[in-house]
Amino acid sequence: MNRIKNNQIVRTFQFCRKKSLMLQSIFSPIRSLILVTSLLILVPVIVVTDIVLAQDASDDAEIEEALSGFDEGDSGIEDALSGFDEEELAEDEGNNIKHTYETDAKNRKENWNTFFGYTGINLNYSFKREPPEDNSNADWSGLTKVRPFFSLTWDAKLGSNWNSRISAKTFYDFAYGLKERDSFTSEVLNELEKEAELREVYLEGSPLGSLDIRIGSQIVAWGTADSLRVIDVLNPTDNREYGMTDLEDVRIPLPMTRLDYYFGDFKLQAVAVHQIKFNKSAPPGSDYNSTTTEIKEVIPESKAENTEYGLALSGTFSGWDASLHWAQYFNDEAYILIVDMNFVPGVGLVPTLENRHSRLTMSGIALSITSSNYIWKAEAANFRGIEFNNVKEKKFTRTEILFGTEYSGWSDTSLSIESGVKHLNDFDQRLEANPDYQREDRIVTTLNLMQDYFNQTLNLRVLGMMIGEWGEDGGLNRVSLEYDVMDAFSVKGGVMMYQPGNSLYFQSLNENDRIFFEARFSF
């Protein structure tokens, strides 16, 4: 008996040793960073632990959402994949499951306040760029991100039918202080060095049984796709670091009033957006925006006549879901308008440019069908009211269609493919010229592979995206490994590589290939 027990111990030890040696080989370039990371997050972890211990345990919050999409122009390609879901945890924003607020009095008392969040550090190393010749130019080579981060969410129950949420995040990037800080533009430092902001802040409840209401800053995600966006138009996205933005930070919450009415197998949703915000783009002079000229952006005033609206009717049936969508909103992607021409001695005529946002009307449909180990997805939409500089006499319409499939028939493996095409109707050849740079058709295709090992403690994620029929307009490839060191602590490392192609935008990203690392503690 003792011999058997001893053999079991030996086998267990050998297994753990093999696993440890494998992980050492995988993470050997960043092994020394883990110690630094642990020290950097130790203090917030201690503080947060005190808070958590004062509260009752709660279920893990569904923070992360998939996001990405595609829009017109080379600048619009930036929105083709604002972020990508390596491990989609869908929030209740877009699904067809009715939120239940009724609990017994005892549970409400025990779970009155719930705090949860995460803290950690992000590191990026750019291995393709060369250092500048002198200290007067910004250095985007080598270590480009040393960013500790912290996020906290507070959920509270307010009586039997009402809940509230307040969430906030903050970060500070030490990479700029480690280099010649004065060589970076003020726009870069203001946008990328530090940030502290409230995200979701809302009150929700069920005043009439089958009617749910949510008021405040929130996210509403439409559609069935995981990587591309067609009908998902209500929330802008954070595109400052293309393909590198944290999943939970991709969509930008907006002040909204949202009503969900449930009847039978259907849900009718009405949304009013009260504040006008657009996509966050990389500031001029950053590694994701090499231009040095900042173009004035014209933002419509947030008043009653500029309110954005959305309607959605969705149904859940046996093996399939379907939904109809309508929205009237301002396009998140701006078009460049030449508003004036000025003569500059020695230079000639210099245009005065503005970024304008068209008010669009979208009508669309989404479909999801489950069959055996497959999920088939489709979206289609028509957009009216699109404006350009080179053809000012009319507004254009655009048709977008997306098809995708996800296969999960292999053990601990999921493979998904999505492809979308955009067709600009009644195309005018003048749109091909500067500053519009439009094409009649644009195609985007993504492939996402996910594999889990060692009882799902080691996770491999591979994402590929190509612009154009065969990737001729550029794309990207991202590979990452995430290891759950323990229940609440994980480390992740990987590599991002951009493909230039014929696209001016992806050509500008060609030098941004990098290695990334993250250590995260969740509570």
pLDDT-derived band at 111, boundaries 50, 70, 90:
low
Q: Which tops the pLDDT comparison, 11 or 473?
A: 473
**What is the C-alpha separation between 172 and 285, in angstroms, rounded?**
19
Predicted confidence at residue 40, as pLDDT, reads 40
Rounded Cα distance, 390 and 435, in Å: 8
Count of domains forming the chain? 1
More confident residue, 144 or 100: 144
What percentage of the chain has pLDDT greater than the value 70? Answer: 78
Whole-number pLDDT of residue 247? 64
Q: Output the pLDDT for position 406.
A: 97
At residue 152, does pLDDT exceed 90? yes
Q: Which domain holds residue 393?
A: 2-522
What pLDDT sits at residue 495?
98
Mean of pLDDT values over 302-308 = 95
- Label residues 200-239 b or e (16+ Cβ within 10 Å = b): bbbebbbeeeeebbbbbbbbbbbbbbbbbbbbbbbbbbbb
Give the CATH number for residue 311: 2.40.160.10
Query: Stretch 60-80: mean pLDDT, rounded?
Result: 39
| Residue 136: band (very low, low, confident or very high) from pLDDT cuts 50, 70, 90 | confident
More confident residue, 89 or 7: 7
Q: pLDDT tens-digit profile of 239-282?
A: 999 888 866 679 999 999 999 999 999 999 999 999 999 999 99
Higher-scoring residue by pLDDT: 465, 87 = 465
What is the residue-averaged pLDDT of the chain? 83
Q: Minimal CA–CA distance to 468: which of 500, 428, 509, 434?
A: 500
What's the mean pLDDT in 501-519? 94
Q: Does residue 149 or residue 29 have the better pLDDT?
A: 149
Nearest by Cα to 251 from 216, 275, 220, 228: 220
Contact assessment for residue 405 and residue 416, using Cβ atoms and an 8 Å cutoff = yes
pLDDT of 112 strictly over 70:
no
Q: Rounded to an integer, what distance in angstroms lies between the CA atom of residue 17 and that of residue 12?
A: 9
Whether residue 186 is predicted with pLDDT greater than 90 in this model: the reply is: yes
Given a cut of 50, whether residue 478 has pLDDT beyond it is: yes
What DSSP letter does each residue of 446-502 carry, written as one string? EEEEEEEETTTTEEEEEEEEEESTTSTT-EEEEEEEEEESSSSEEEEEEEEEEE-TT
Cis geometry, peptide bond prior to residue 300 (ω within 30 degrees of 0): no
- The helix/strand/coil state of 518 is strand
pTM (predicted TM-score):
0.78
Greatest alpha-carbon pair distance for the chain in Å reads: 95
- CB–CB of 438/424 below 8 Å? yes
What number is the average pLDDT over the span 202-217? 95
Query: Mean of the pLDDT values across residues 61-86?
Result: 38
Q: Do residues 471 and 501 touch, judged by C-beta distance below 8 A?
A: yes
**What pLDDT score was predicted for residue 206?**
93
Phi, psi of 485 (to 5 degrees): -65, -40
- CB 102 within 8 Å of CB 160: yes
> Does residue 411 have a pLDDT over 50?
yes
Instruction: Measure CA 183 to chain center.
Output: 29
pLDDT, tens digit (0-9, with 9 covering 90-100), for 313-341: 999 999 999 999 999 999 999 999 999 99
- The CA–CA distances, whole Å, from 330 to 37, 57, 157, 333, 489 equal 41, 41, 34, 9, 40
Kindly tell me if the per-residue pLDDT of 174 is higher than 70.
yes
